[in-house]
Chain A
């Protein structure tokens, strides 16, 4: 198991390292002069001022030097300052991050509860009308754009019924975005849970468990669910990264004050230091979560543990 985790950790570090290279070079991929584009929206910037920015961002140095400088700053926790307002990027991100994590977490909870339960039931009742209707709902859910679902929920529950506020950043504002994000992902989880549980139900060891005369509940939960959990957990780890990706869109629908909304604004404003910081942070979160999932996976599956 140690070897496995060491391997996974190294892979995680490699991912982050490659990300830093990509992120630091990002600005050079921009067609045209990035500094000019960045400041195109603020009038009256002189060429001297632009040159100064170029100096400050180190854009005149050779690429290798730029990367080393960038890494040096990043390792000290300095992600630079934003173009607009010259605020420290890291602080800005950390200020908004809890909102995004709360949204993604709440959505994941909703998605898991609905998805796991309905997927399990569908697999157990395979071929029944219940299975068919659950899976029909699921494929509709998978095909539903979440920004659109968000708009509809907003229209019915906030505008028409006024059960929830339209905008704001309280806990009551979290409900609709979390449901939006949770429901569409619940459909994916339900489909995967179903196919994974059907695989398990067909396994020889389930027949053995029944041949041992175990009560149905023990066969289902003690054997089938326990074995099916291994692939399901991997999938839930993946789901969390989608939740983070989906959160970017959903935050914009509901005006939820998370990093995703800030990132979109940064793209509009061509605020490259902020975009770079956002991508790096996002990568770190994704990598951390998948590493965590690897640990849980190893703990669940003795074939890896030993």
Chain B
């Protein structure tokens, strides 16, 4: 049953480094609502995509685009209330995660499906030792004894290049730097051999040089374990450096998807073009940086007050009356490259 559903989804074969790899995660028409004072808003609106073993899929967008909510929805970590998964399916390991009980999800979270977050400094409990925080998940999921779990944790810390791991296990989060803490977070996330790692802006809070190291580490671990990585970011530089495939989100919707090379070479949505315009120059060492997405005029409209038609129309220099009246559908613009724009053909490629 789930296989059928996944096959339905693979409408567009996409070239990745693991071309024929198995699909490990398939998101189908996911909708997540939040109750606010102004009424219910749809933070994620009908998003579908799939993730193949060993690939790094980047999800890009400004804040408010729904990329983080998408990842939290997959993990079943949406705070409820005010949040609620209003529709869609998330297939993982042959089951629909949205149908699982919290207890069933618990078994998957942190073991075959794990996640790291934006702020390593606040993502670890300040009053518990690193050792305790590393081993509790291992013991929970792998059923190891305290001693085995400790040795496994040391091994994981070595793998993320933390010096003197036996010693550092006894220390507390405030004794680590941000970069080291993000390494710890990655070690925790990878310690139970996940099939999918969701990384929500893992480098945003870190210094530029540390950012590059962390991204490199994630790539290494991907190569070593074959885990798929879903990388949430607002930074096109990070996408270019790290990802195989990219999904661009805007105001809760997916608006473009394709291989990184394809999308960067010839974006098919003006928003993506705008994001790329914010980059200094592609392919250079400095591309992984703290580039701001400041070249697109205006901000993402509030979800309570979306324009009719294309949601990007009020910020788009290509917008016509049609854009303001009719929502463009997601269409295959080139093989493996889809976008939702009425004016895809008019876009010029970035230099």
- Report the Cα distance A306→B127, complex, angstroms: 11
Residues from chain A with Cβ under 8 Å of B54 in the complex: none
Q: Which of A210, A230, A303 has a CB less than 8 Å from the CB of B172?
A: A303
Known: A207-B77, A302-B172, A303-B174. A212 touches B109 (CB 8 A): yes
Docked-complex contact B122 and A212, CB < 8 angstroms: no
Question: Least Cβ distance of A204 to chain B in Å?
Answer: 4
Docked-complex contact B110 and A227, CB < 8 angstroms: no
- Report the Cα distance A39→B152, complex, angstroms: 79
Known: A210-B77, A211-B110, A223-B128. A204 touches B140 (CB 8 A): no
Known: A213-B137, A306-B172. A205 touches B107 (CB 8 A): no
- Report the Cα distance A209→B109, complex, angstroms: 10
**CB of A61 within 8 Å of the partner chain:** no
Residues from chain A with Cβ under 8 Å of B137 in the complex: 212-214
Known: A226-B128, A302-B174. A213 touches B77 (CB 8 A): no
Residues from chain A with Cβ under 8 Å of B109 in the complex: 210-213
Docked-complex contact B124 and A213, CB < 8 angstroms: no
Docked-complex contact A230 and B111, CB < 8 angstroms: no
Residues from chain A with Cβ under 8 Å of B111 in the complex: 213
Residues from chain B with Cβ under 8 Å of A223 in the complex: 125, 128
**CB of B108 within 8 Å of the partner chain:** yes
- Report the Cα distance A178→B109, complex, angstroms: 47
**CB of B93 within 8 Å of the partner chain:** no
Docked-complex contact B77 and A211, CB < 8 angstroms: yes
Docked-complex contact A226 and B172, CB < 8 angstroms: no
| Tally of chain A residues near chain B (CB < 8 A) | 26
Best-buried of A127, A205, A216 by chain B (most CB within 10 Å): A205
Residues from chain B with Cβ under 8 Å of A212 in the complex: 109-110, 114, 136-137, 140, 188
**CB of A65 within 8 Å of the partner chain:** no
Known: A211-B110, A215-B106. A205 touches B136 (CB 8 A): no
**CB of B297 within 8 Å of the partner chain:** no
Instruction: List residues 177-218 of chain A with CB under 8 A from any CB of chain B.
Output: 203-205, 207-216, 218
Q: Which of A127, A205, A214 has a CB less than 8 Å from the CB of B106?
A: A214
- Report the Cα distance A215→B124, complex, angstroms: 17
Docked-complex contact B117 and A204, CB < 8 angstroms: yes
| Tally of chain B residues near chain A (CB < 8 A) | 33
Question: Least Cβ distance of B65 to chain A in Å?
Answer: 20
Residues from chain A with Cβ under 8 Å of B122 in the complex: 203-205
Q: Total A-B residue pairs with C-beta atoms closer than 8 Å? A: 83
Binding site of A, secondary structure by majority: helix, strand, loop or mixed?
helix
Q: Which of B110, B127, B136, B175 has a CB less than 8 Å from the CB of A301?
A: B127
Best-buried of B81, B123, B172 by chain A (most CB within 10 Å): B123
Instruction: List residues 233-283 of chain A with CB under 8 A from any CB of chain B.
Output: none
Residues from chain A with Cβ under 8 Å of B108 in the complex: 213
**CB of A168 within 8 Å of the partner chain:** no
Question: Least Cβ distance of B347 to chain A in Å?
Answer: 38
**CB of B341 within 8 Å of the partner chain:** no
**CB of A300 within 8 Å of the partner chain:** yes
**CB of A98 within 8 Å of the partner chain:** no
- Report the Cα distance A127→B35, complex, angstroms: 14
Instruction: List residues 124-174 of chain B with CB under 8 A from any CB of chain A.
Output: 124-129, 136-137, 140-141, 171-172, 174
- Report the Cα distance A227→B122, complex, angstroms: 12
Docked-complex contact B107 and A306, CB < 8 angstroms: no
**CB of A145 within 8 Å of the partner chain:** no
Residues from chain A with Cβ under 8 Å of B102 in the complex: 216
Instruction: List residues 16-41 of chain B with CB under 8 A from any CB of chain A.
Output: none
Docked-complex contact B125 and A227, CB < 8 angstroms: yes
The 6 closest A-B pairs by CB, nearest first: A213-B110, A213-B109, A212-B110, A302-B172, A212-B137, A204-B122
Interface residues of A (CB under 8 A from B): 127, 203-205, 207-216, 218, 222-223, 226-227, 229-230, 300-303, 306
13 contacts between A and B (CB under 8 A): A204-B117, A205-B122, A207-B77, A207-B117, A208-B123, A208-B125, A211-B114, A213-B107, A214-B106, A227-B125, A227-B127, A302-B127, A302-B129
